[in-house]
Each structure stands twice: as structure tokens, then as C-alpha cells.
Amino acid sequence: MSDKLHLTPEDQFPADLETVPDHELQVLDSQVQRQLDHEVVLDGEPNPETEFRHYELDEEFNDRDKR
């Protein structure tokens, strides 16, 4: 897992979040959230790819809570 603070839309993102360990998923979520905040401040709106990643992470967290 990367030590970067933000995960830009150009950075790699796991194809299957189910295989990502909990700790790494939390780091990934923090990186995507920081990127969302960064995009909103700079551009006034998030990049669609970043929004999609944020949605995918939320769905994975919800699925894990149900297990």
C-alpha cells in the first residue's frame, strides 16, 4: 500500500476491494477522502473517478459490516 496522502484518479485502485485487508482498506479510504476534499477545494467539484472510488469503498465497508 502506498504512503501517499491522496489517491489521484490516475493512481491504481484495486479491482476487487473484497481482497483488500481491513487496515489497507481504511488507508485507501483515507486517501480517497483526502483526494475528494482536495478536488472540491481546487475545482469546486470532485472528479467522477474519485467519486466512484469513494462510493465503492462505502459499499465495501457496508458489506463488511453485514458479515
Tell me the pLDDT tens digit for each residue of 37-57.
999 999 999 999 999 999 999
Q: What is the pTM of this model?
A: 0.89
Asked if pLDDT for residue 58 goes beyond 60, the answer is yes
User: Each residue of 6-37: pLDDT tens digit?
Assistant: 999 999 999 999 999 999 999 999 999 999 99
pLDDT at position 48, please? 97
Question: CA-to-CA distance for 64 and 67, rounded, in angstroms?
Answer: 5
